[in-house]
Each structure stands twice: as structure tokens, then as C-alpha cells.
């Protein structure tokens, strides 16, 4: 079953998403992906900003060429105002960017690896000819390991590979296959295994077409997806034809026949996180790019340049908030439809809370890219504000208000590992952001469940209201280690760790208790301690409005409701220790 099913109503009880109007569709990748937060998101946001900045520059140059006479019109700028605690930004076309629809049909590109320089990318003739080779049997969301011919090893990001995994969704991975049904997005390509994205999109060879492998001699291998359709819940999608040729020296050649999908990703990635360079293969080529993830992301949806929005905010307001929370007053999918909301971190100056497990540096500060001088720590994108109904209503086991609490909580949570004997165990959490489904978290805002140990090897999830547990409060700097109760997770369960909390689920497994001492042995003590950590988080609440539109009064009021109710909720859930400050004043 595919993970990119489009639906117009969310009958999924685990989400309970309130739609703004009968005609506004929503897209859900799968229940476990409602929060789009992941460890590589900040590097992706910055890469997207640089991509959009080049687009804006081309737009400006195009307008200048179109003007005549001595008068050059001044560029419009986003309009910024304030209603109560809500900063209202009316776009001028700079922040909300048009779709980048696929335009590679009939084209070709060569990525020539040059030692110490990276990849030289040039245009080549496109089209996919006959004689495609040996058919590879692939189903929907499937992967097959293909050994290379004797003597052929493919050099890719500093390693030599003697086999590759051909994945049904238009990509090749190394070291492990990828048959997941989660979002086919940039985060997955950057954080996953080393990968070649020939045309990464949700394809289904079961519904038509074929995948072929052909060894061309002289240390080359060609993989072709021939007339393979996009996954469809009913019937069959339109066919797509493309290929990629791998050379033993690390060179790659992409060839495209007919591409019918507006969405998809073309490029390469070393995997494991890190920097990414986004290109427009039609405009930026020829170009030489250092050895890193390189991609063009195609899509049919508009996107928001969050970095440019933050920079716009700082043109009007002082640099004195730790978080920016962005809401839209219009419907727009987040992360290609795979998320309801998400958060990315721009700065961390706290030791011992797990950042070292997912980044090259535990302490970092990238706030300057958004226009802050070391003050801004994170950015939450909550999406269309009117999709949140009554803030007390449940979205599965989490309330609408709890979604906001959850996203701000990502500044600190949840990334911790613990030491079990001589081994480091990451099983408390999944994906560097959320507690595992099988972790007893007392129904944390950050997922996991309140789990009852029945004492006979069976366990049951309980219908418990959302909260922060002791471990959450310690990591956030609100509770000393001596007051932190143990928690446990269930080893060997058949339940997937990456799953939204759900009540009344019974499963079997082995209980593993985890104490705060186990965590500190691996992560180190929290610095600053709860005695010295800041207790107030200043947040700018920003509402984005489309160009030429009047701000929706209902949207302004809904953001203000988040302000009023989350202030009390945050204080209650942190035992009165933590507080939110939403007061902002323009320069």
C-alpha cells in the first residue's frame, strides 16, 4: 500500500483534522507523519531559501529587462502590521513562491565527479531508447539488491560499492534498500541511506510498466523505469519513463523520456543528514557543485520561504524572541502534504539533551541566516490556522492546542539515547524528534503512550490526557535530575516505533526500565542545569496573508486564541515553572 493517498476528508480518527471549507482538500502521507519535524529540516529550509533567492533574482532581472525609459519602479515589499499579539505579514510575492513543476521531459543531464571539486553538471541529450536490459521484478514500495558485474565498483561519496538497491519509487540506494511508504520528500533523501534520485516519486510497477537493469561494459550500469505509473488508490496513474547510468569513476547520466508527474526529486545524496544544494536544472546548468546532496525538487504546490519571512520580521521588530511561530490565513499543504505542522531548530546552546546524536555539533547557532544575531532558537510552522477547530478538541490523543505545545517542545525534545550495559540504545525515541510508540511516556505531548504493564509480558496503552513527563521536564530545564522518575520501553514488540499514540492497544514484549542516570551516562548532565536554565520563552506569532488579500479576521482571532490559551497551558504543564511571553513591539 502506498503512503501518498490523497483524500478530501480526514476520516482518520488519529488526526481529526477540521477542514476549513468543503472545497479545500487535505493530503496526509500516513498517520505517523502528521508532525514533519526531523533532524535535517533546518538545512533543507536554508537550501530552499537560497533556491528561492536565485529565483527572486531572476524575477528582478526579468522585470528590469521588460521596463523601458529612465524610470525604474521600486520593488514592492511585504506589508507588516500588528493586531493584538499577532504580527500580520501581507506578502508581495516574495515569500509565497510559485510551484516548481517538473520540466525534465525529453532532457538529459550528466554529473561528472571531479576529485576535490565535486560534481560538474552539464546538459546532455534526453530520451530513453530501446534495448533496456534485464527486467527487475518490483512491486509497489519494493526494493531489490542488484550485485554489480565482476570488476565493477561504483564510487559514491567516498565509498566504493559492489551492489546497489533498485527501489520501485524511482531511486537507487546503497548499503540498504528503501521500501518505505512515507513521504517521498527531500528530508527522506537527505537523512536516509546514500541515494541516487533518478526521479523520486511514488511509483507503482505493479500497476504497469517495468524496471530494467543493463550492464553496458567498460564499468557502466543503466537502470531504467519504463512507463511506470504513479501510485493510484483506484486504477492506474500516468506512465513515466527515465533512466540513470552509473560509471565506475562516480559519473552519472540522467535521461528522461516522458515524465507525467508534476512532483518528484532528481539528484544525489550521501545520506545521513548534512548540507544540501537545490538547483534549477533548466536554469543553473552548467555548474560545478561541491560534494554534497544535490537536487531539484518538483511540485505542484506553492511553497513558503520561511527564512525570507523571518528576515522580513526582523526588518520591523527587534531581535528579542527565541521562537517564531508561523500561521497561514489560507490553505496550503506543508511538506508536500505530509505534515500538519513542524518545527526546526536554528540554535542550541544546551548540552546533554541529545543533539549530538543527530548533528556534527551539539552546540550550534545558525540564527544569522534568518536575520537574528544569536537570539532566535527555533521556528514553528503551524500551517493554515483555520484547520484547527476548537483548541480543546482532540486530534487523536493530542488536542489542537497540544499541536502548538508539541511543536515548541521540539526545541528541546526528543533526541536522547541511553546506555544499556556497554551499548548505546536509541530505542526510547524515533527519528530524532518523538518518543517511540512503545515507550511509556505518561502520554507525553511528544508522543509515546501511557502504557500499563500487566505483569505477564503483555502491555496496554491507556486513555490518558496529554502532559509532559518528568524526563521531558528535565530535558527542557524545568526539573532537576533527582526528581525524575524512571520510564520504560517495550523491547521486541510487533508495534512499529514510528506510530502515533493510540489508546487501548494491547501488545507483548519485554519491559526495559530506563532511569535518568542511564540517560546522563550517555548524554552527559544537562548544561545549564534546571537551576540556571531560562524559564521564559519569548514567541512571535506571525500570520501570513497572500499577496493582494485582506487579512481574514477569523484567522487573526484564531492565532490570538492560540496566544491566550497556550500561555496558560504551558504554565500548567510545566508545573508553573515555564512561561510564554508573546509581547512584541515594532522598532
Complete DSSP assignment for 108-131: EEEEEEETTTEEEEEEEE----S-
Residue 491's pLDDT is 95
Count of Cβ atoms closer than 10 Å to residue 74 Cβ = 6
Count of Cβ atoms closer than 10 Å to residue 426 Cβ = 16
Dist. CA 239–CA 228, nearest whole Å: 5
Residue 307's pLDDT is 97
* Chain-centre distance for alpha carbon 378: 15
Q: By the 8 A CB rule, do 542 and 326 touch?
A: yes
Dist. CA 193–CA 141, nearest whole Å: 16
Strand 323-328 versus strand 536-545 pairing type? parallel
Residue 398's pLDDT is 79
Q: If you search the block for the grid coordinates 542511564, which residue do you land on?
A: 518
Question: At how many degrees (to 10) do helices 306-314 and 41-66 cross?
Answer: 80
Residue 33's pLDDT is 54
Dist. CA 531–CA 351, nearest whole Å: 14
Residue 202's pLDDT is 96
Handedness of CA 448, 449, 450, 453 (dihedral sign): negative
Q: By the 8 A CB rule, do 317 and 333 touch?
A: no
Residue 2's pLDDT is 40
Strand 276-278 versus strand 293-298 pairing type? parallel
Q: Where are the alpha helices (DSSP H) in 393-552?
A: 400-409, 470-476, 516-523
Residue 217's pLDDT is 81
Residue 393's pLDDT is 78
Question: At how many degrees (to 10) do helices 553-573 and 400-409 cross?
Answer: 60
Residue 162's pLDDT is 96
- Closest among 364, 367, 369, 360 to 350, alpha carbons compared: 364
Beta partners for residue 110, in sequence order: 122, 253
Q: Across 206-322, where does the E strand assignment appear?
A: 210-215, 220-229, 239-247, 252-256, 264-269, 276-278, 287-289, 293-298, 303-304
- Parts of the chain with a pLDDT under 70: 1-33, 68-76, 395
Amino acid at each position: 500500500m502506498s503512503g501518498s493517498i490523497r483524500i478530501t476528508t480526514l476520516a482518520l480518527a488519529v488526526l481529526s483534522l477540521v477542514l476549513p471549507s468543503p472545497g479545500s482538500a487535505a493530503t496526509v502521507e500516513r498517520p505517523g507523519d502528521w508532525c514533519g519535524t526531523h533532524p535535517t529540516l533546518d538545512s533543507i529550509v536554508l537550501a530552499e531559501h537560497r533556491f528561492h533567492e536565485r529565483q527572486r533574482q531572476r524575477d528582478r532581472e526579468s522585470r528590469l529587462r521588460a521596463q523601458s525609459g529612465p524610470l525604474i519602479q521600486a520593488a514592492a515589499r511585504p506589508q507588516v502590521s500588528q493586531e493584538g499579539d499577532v504580527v500580520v505579514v501581507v506578502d508581495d510575492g516574495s515569500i509565497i513562491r510559485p510551484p516548481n513543476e517538473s520540466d525534465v521531459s525529453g532532457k538529459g543531464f550528466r554529473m561528472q565527479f571531479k576529485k576535490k571539486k565535486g560534481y560538474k553538471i552539464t546538459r546532455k541529450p534526453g530520451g530513453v531508447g530501446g534495448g533496456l536490459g534485464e527486467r527487475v521484478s518490483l512491486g509497489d514500495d519494493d526494493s531489490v539488491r542488484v550485485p554489480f558485474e565482476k570488476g565493477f565498483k561504483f564510487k559514491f561519496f567516498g565509498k566504493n560499492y559492489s551492489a546497489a538497491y533498485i527501489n520501485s519509487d524511482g531511486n537507487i540506494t546503497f548499503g540498504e534498500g528503501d521500501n518505505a511508504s512515507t513521504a517521498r520528500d527531500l528530508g527522506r533523501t537527505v537523512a536516509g541511506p546514500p541515494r541516487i534520485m533518478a526521479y523520486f516519486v511514488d511509483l507503482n510497477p505493479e500497476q504497469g510498466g517495468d524496471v530494467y537493469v543493463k550492464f553496458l561494459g567498460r564499468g557502466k550500469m543503466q537502470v531504467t523505469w519504463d512507463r511506470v505509473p504513479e501510485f493510484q488508490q483506484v486504477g492506474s496513474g500516468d506512465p513515466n519513463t527515465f533512466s540513470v547510468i552509473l560509471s565506475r569513476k562516480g559519473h552519472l547520466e540522467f535521461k528522461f523520456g516522458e515524465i507525467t508527474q508534476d512532483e518528484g526529486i532528481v539528484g544525489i545524496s550521501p545520506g545521513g543528514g548534512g548540507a544540501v544544494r537545490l538547483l534549477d536544472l533548466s536554469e543553473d546548468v552548467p555548474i560545478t557543485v561541491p560534494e554534497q546532496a544535490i537536487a531539484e525538487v518538483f511540485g505542484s504546490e506553492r511553497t513558503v520561504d520561511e527564512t525570507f519571512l523571518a528576515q522580513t520580521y526582523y526588518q520591523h521588530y527587534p531581535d528579542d524572541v527565541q521562537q517564531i511561530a508561523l500561521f497561514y490565513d489560507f490553505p496550503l499543504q506543508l511538506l508536500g502534504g505530509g505534515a500538519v505542522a513542524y518545527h526546526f531548530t536554528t540554535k542550541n546552546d544546551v548540552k546533554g539533551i541529545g543533539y549530538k546524536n543527530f548533528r556534527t555539533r551539539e552546540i550550534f547557532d545558525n540564527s544569522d541566516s534568518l536575520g537574528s544575531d544569536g537570539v532566535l532558537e527555533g521556528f514553528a510552522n503551524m500551517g493554515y490556522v483555520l484547520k484547527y477547530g476548537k483548541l480543546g478538541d482532540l486530534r487523536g490523543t493530542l488536542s489542537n492546542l497540544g499541536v502548538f505545545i508539541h511543536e515548541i517542545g521540539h526545541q528541546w525534545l526528543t533526541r536522547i539515547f541511553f546506555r544499556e550495559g556497554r551499548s548505546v540504545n536509541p530505542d526510547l525515541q524515533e527519528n530524532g524528534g518523538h518518543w517511540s510508540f512503545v515507550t511509556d511516556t505518561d502520554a507525553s505531548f511528544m508522543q509515546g503512550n501511557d502504557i500499563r504493564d500487566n505483569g505477564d509480558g503483555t502491555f496496554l496503552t491507556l486513555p490518558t490526557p496529554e502532559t509532559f513527563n518528568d524526563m521531558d521536564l528535565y530535558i527542557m530545564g524545568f526539573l532537576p535530575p533527582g526528581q525524575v522518575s524512571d520510564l520504560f520501553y517495550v523491547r521486541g514488540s510487533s508495534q512499529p516505533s514510528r506510530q502515533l499514540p493510540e489508546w487501548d492497544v494491547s501488545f507483548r514484549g519485554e519491559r526495559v526500565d530506563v532511569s535518568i542516570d542511564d540517560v546522563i551516562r550517555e548524554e552527559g548532565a544537562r548544561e545549564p542545569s534546571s537551576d540556571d536554565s531560562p524559564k521564559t520563552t519569548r514567541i512571535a506569532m506571525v500570520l501570513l496573508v497572500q499577496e493582494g488579500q485582506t487579512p481574514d479576521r477569523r484567522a487573526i482571532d484564531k492565532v490570538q486564541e492560540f496566544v491566550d490559551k497556550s500561555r496558560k497551558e504551558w504554565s500548567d504543564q510545566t508545573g508553573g515553572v515555564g512561561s510564554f511571553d508573546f509581547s512584541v513591539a515594532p522598532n
